[in-house]
């Protein structure tokens, strides 16, 4: 490992850093509507949504903060463009 890689590793945030306390929807975090619906549908398919909360996944915003997620809707298939 060279020195530049070591410097990068020391500036990274730990993976297990706690998420922001109040869960937010993907749309509240700035994800575009269609993409948010697709991602949420995938989370429902994975079984990651329990009682409206997304379990096992966090969303990292560009400023580096981790956010707990909550589902915006029931597990419906996202609308497809014709």
Q: Is the pLDDT of residue 18 over 90?
A: no
* Summary mean pLDDT of the chain: 79
| Average of per-residue pLDDT across 24-42 | 93
Those residues with Cβ within 8 angstroms of residue 55's Cβ, 6 or more apart along the chain or in another chain: 48, 49
Residue 45, CB-side half-sphere exposure with 13 Å CA sphere = 9
Predicted local distance difference test score (pLDDT) of residue 82: 55
Two structure tokens written together for 38: 């697709």
Confidence of residue 2 (pLDDT cuts 50, 70, 90): low
What is this structure's pTM? 0.65
pLDDT digits (tens, 9 = 90+) for 39-70: 999 999 999 999 899 999 999 999 999 999 99
Two structure tokens written together for 15: 């993976």
The Cα-based distances of 60 to 53, 57, 76, 78 in angstroms read 16, 10, 25, 23
Q: Is the pLDDT of residue 19 over 90?
A: no
């Amino acid at each position: 490992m060279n020195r530049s890689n070591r410097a990068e590793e020391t500036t990274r945030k730990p993976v297990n850093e706690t998420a922001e306390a109040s869960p937010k929807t993907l749309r509240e975090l700035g994800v575009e509507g269609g993409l948010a619906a697709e991602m949420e549908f995938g989370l429902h398919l994975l079984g990651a949504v329990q009682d409206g909360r997304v379990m096992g996944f966090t969303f990292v915003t560009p400023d580096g903060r981790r956010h707990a997620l909550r589902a915006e809707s029931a597990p419906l298939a996202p609308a497809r463009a014709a």
